[in-house]
Amino acid sequence: MKKRGNLFLLLTAAVLYLVWLYSGDDQPDSLSHKKMKSIEMEIEGKLLWPLYFLEGSIYPLMGESSEHIYSEFGQPVYKAPTPYGYQWWIYQFNDQYLQIGIENEKVVTIYATGPNIPIDPISIGNDYNQVKSKFSLSSLLTYHGDRSQYDFYLSSEDIKLRPLVQLSENHFLQLYFDQFTGELSSVRLLTGEVLIRHRPYQISYFGELPSLPALSEEEWNMIEDARERQIFDITNVIRKRHHLEELDWDAEVSRVAFLHSKDMAENRYFSHFTLTGEGLKQRLQRYNIAYLTAGENIAAQYQDAPAVIEGWMNSEGHRKAILNPNYTHLGVGVYQDYYTQNFLQKTVLLP
């Protein structure tokens, strides 16, 4: 039996800089991106909710063809590569946000957040106990692959913040909770194969653990660009949920954020300050970026944009930055699995 540890890197509190700068009036260009009831079945003592018994929700989309997704939702806002073998199709409907993962023309994973997402028998915004009354939340789940067995071990923190539910032999549901409100923030459906590739929990296995393909620099560049956009979009979905103004994209600040993510990855450190002692203030000054106040979030080793956003929202300091009503602009920089958000207040918001 082999074991792998949890890949999540616990984040320290975000550092907030309040710096007053006086410079020119030039502003970078903004970029805006734009019925049957569930039937409980008991198999080997476990309650399972087979996907084919759930209608009027996103569950039946799992396993559907890309052609069906196109006919159901139309052309995605954009398509994005991942390091996991599938491609994200991104959809936004008012305040609803969907990332649908397509592999070999089939849906293998879905990330969803926003109000009124059809995920019967639960809903975004349900409190923890409401969800727990619908699903059994276990600390150990097992997936049987081709000549292999994979056991996923959930810590007490996992069960509290991101529990995993087995819907059928090959389909799982990740539930992301906001620890500050106790409410369901978002959900992720995924096949057992995708769950193994993500490895968000401690895992032990018999057989083989699939390896991820080696990616070229060009492939990573496309993944990084897509992750930056997803973090920006999900951040604004969350701000709208909390009745805050959306942030404008800032390309110059995004470059500053990217260079910090890259520097952390290449020099093997994790900090708001570089190895030479530069903080956000100095990095922004170097590129003559004018602002009133600024703040920064960093993260590492999260599997993708949705996961890192949920992690930040469950850390008090990072959450304050995302929900700061004074910020007006955001630049996001991603280098492989290192993430940086730089927030700026560029105008004074009148009450």
Kind and range of the H or E run holding 78: strand 78-81
The residues, ordered by sequence, that sit 6+ positions from 293 with a Cβ below 8 Å of its Cβ are: 17, 18, 19, 20, 326, 327, 344, 345
pLDDT score at 349: 57
pLDDT score at 49: 38
Cα 65 to Cα 61: distance, rounded to the nearest angstrom: 8
pLDDT score at 10: 37
In Å, how far from its chain's centre is CA 237?
12
Cα 192 to Cα 194: distance, rounded to the nearest angstrom: 5
Nearest Cα neighbor of 321 from 298, 304, 305 is 298
pLDDT tens for the 351 residues of the chain, in order: 433 443 334 333 343 333 333 223 333 222 222 222 232 333 333 334 334 333 358 999 999 999 999 999 999 999 999 999 999 999 998 889 999 999 999 999 999 999 888 888 899 999 999 999 999 999 999 999 888 999 999 999 999 999 999 999 999 999 999 999 999 999 999 999 999 999 999 999 999 998 898 999 999 999 999 999 999 999 999 999 999 999 999 999 999 999 999 999 999 999 999 999 999 999 999 999 999 999 999 999 999 999 999 999 999 999 999 999 999 999 999 999 999 999 999 976 566
